C-alpha cells in the first residue's frame, strides 16, 4: 500500500528532521582534558536512556570541527560505556592525536555527570587518485513509495510494552522516515526469522544547516545518527524478538563505521542489514547504505547487548 510521503498526519503537525540537527548542534566550551571541547544536548526519547546515535553523531561532529583543510571523515570506531541522561548536556573532549599530510586522527570522549559515556577514534583522509569499486546490492526490494511508513504501519495497532509515547516516537520522533523490508519489528516478527532486512530511510524534511559543519559534514553526521536505530534488528529478527516484547532490554556496546564516498542524504537511502552472530547475550549486526542508483556510501558494524525477558 502506498506510504504517507512527507505529509502531516490529519489533525497533527508534520514530522521534521529537527531532532537530528539539534542533536549535533555543538557549543564550544573550554577544554578540561584534551585540546578542544564542545557540549551537545541529548534529545527526547521515551526510554530511560538517551538514544545512542546522539552520542555517535555528536562525537563525529566534534571530531570534524577539529580538522581543517580538505580532509574528510572516513572511519569511526567507538565504545558505549554508560547510558546518557535524556535532555542533558554531554561534554565532548577532542584529542588531536595526529595531523599528517594525507591523514588525521582524533580521539573523542563524551562525559556526563563527571563520568565517561562514549569514546571513539575518528580518522580523516585527504583522498588521492586510485581505483574505484563498491559492493552491489542485488536483492530486489519494493520501492519506498510502495511501503508504509512507521506512522501508517502503527496506526490502529497495539500490543506488548508499546505506549502512546513510544508509538509517537517510532512514528514521527526520530527525524527519519523508515520503511522496512520485510515488515518492521515494533510489535511482532512477521514471516520467517531471517537474518537479513532492508530499511529505506530519508529525513522527514530537508536537513537544516548545522552551525560549524559544512553540508557534506552534516550529511556524514546524519548517517552516523540514523544507523543506530535499526542495526541490531536483524539479530532480533532471527531470534524472534520484537521491540515491544515485555522485558526485552537492548544496549549498544561498540560501533564501527566507514564512509566510502559522498552522496545525497535528503533522498531515500537503502540500509541493507544482516545478523552475523548472536550468543551469550550479545549480537553483531552489519549494515550498508546505498543510494537509489546503487552507490555504496557507508558500512556499519555494531555489537549490542540483547537481554530477553
| pLDDT tens digits, one per residue of 197-235 | 999 999 999 999 999 999 999 999 999 999 999 999 999
3-state secondary structure of 214: coil
Question: How many CB atoms sit inside 10 A of residue 129's CB?
Answer: 5
pLDDT of residue 3: 34
Return left, alpha or beta for 247; rule: phi > 0 is left, psi -120 to 50 is alpha, else beta.
left
pLDDT of residue 12: 60
φ/ψ (deg, to 5) at 70: -95, 5
Q: For a pLDDT cut of 70, what percent of the chain falls above it?
A: 96
* Residues in Cβ contact with 93 at an 8 Å cutoff, skipping those fewer than 6 apart: 31, 32, 33, 34, 36, 37, 108, 109, 111
Query: Quick one: cell of 124?
Result: 580523516
3-state secondary structure of 305: strand
> Cell 510521503 identifies what position?
5
Question: How many CB atoms sit inside 10 A of residue 277's CB?
Answer: 12
Q: Which residues pair with 112 in a beta bridge?
A: 115
Return left, alpha or beta for 127; rule: phi > 0 is left, psi -120 to 50 is alpha, else beta.
left
pLDDT band at 2; cut points 50, 70, 90: very low
Tell me what the pLDDT averaged over the chain comes to. Answer: 94
Please tell me the distance from the alpha carbon of residue 90 to that of residue 109, in angstroms, as a whole number: 10
Dump pLDDT digits (tens) for 163-180.
999 999 999 999 999 999
Over residues 62-91, mean pLDDT = 97
Amino acid at each position: 500500500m502506498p506510504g504517507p510521503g512527507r505529509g502531516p498526519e490529519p489533525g497533527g503537525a508534520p514530522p521534521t528532521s529537527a531532532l537530528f540537527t539539534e542533536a549535533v548542534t555543538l557549543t564550544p566550551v573550554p577544554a578540561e582534558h584534551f585540546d578542544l571541547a564542545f557540549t551537545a544536548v541529548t534529545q527526547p526519547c521515551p526510554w530511560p536512556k538517551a538514544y545512542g546515535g546522539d552520542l555517535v553523531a555528536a562525537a563525529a561532529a566534534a571530531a570534524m570541527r577539529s580538522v581543517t583543510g580538505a580532509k574528510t571523515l572516513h572511519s569511526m570506531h567507538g565504545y558505549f560505556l554508560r547510558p546518557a541522561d535524556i535532555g542533558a548536556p554531554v561534554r565532548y573532549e577532542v584529542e588531536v592525536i595526529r595531523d599528517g599530510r594525507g591523514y588525521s586522527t582524533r580521539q573523542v570522549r563524551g562525559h556526563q555527570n563527571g563520568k565517561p559515556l562514549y569514546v571513539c577514534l575518528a580518522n580523516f583522509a585527504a583522498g588521492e587518485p586510485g581505483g574505484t569499486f563498491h559492493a552491489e546490492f542485488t536483492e530486489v526490494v519494493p520501492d519506498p513509495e510502495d511501503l508504509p511508513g512507521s506512522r501508517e504501519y502503527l496506526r490502529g495497532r497495539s500490543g506488548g510494552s508499546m505506549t502512546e509515547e513510544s508509538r509517537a516516537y517510532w512514528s514521527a520522533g526520530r527525524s527519519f522516515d523508515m520503511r522496512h523490508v520485510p515488515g518492521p519489528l515494533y510489535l511482532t516478527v512477521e514471516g520467517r526469522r531471517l537474518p537479513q532486512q532492508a530499511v529505506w530511510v530519508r529525513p522527514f524534511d530537508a536537513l537544516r544547516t548545522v552551525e560549524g559543519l559544512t553540508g557534506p559534514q552534516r550529511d556524514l553526521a546524519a548517517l552516523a545518527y540514523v544507523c543506530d536505530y535499526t542495526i541490531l534488528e536483524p539479530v532480533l529478527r532471527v531470534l524472534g524478538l520484537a521491540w515491544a516484547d515485555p522485558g526485552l532490554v537492548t544496549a549498544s556496546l561498540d560501533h564501527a563505521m566507514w564512509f566510502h564516498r559522498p552522496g545525497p542524504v535528503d533522498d531515500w537511502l537503502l540500509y541493507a542489514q544482516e545478523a552475523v552472530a548472536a550468543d551469550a547475550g550479545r549480537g553483531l549486526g552489519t549494515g550498508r547504505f546505498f543510494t537509489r542508483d546503487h552507490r555504496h556510501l557507508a558500512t556499519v558494524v555494531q555489537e549490542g547487548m540483547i537481554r530477553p525477558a
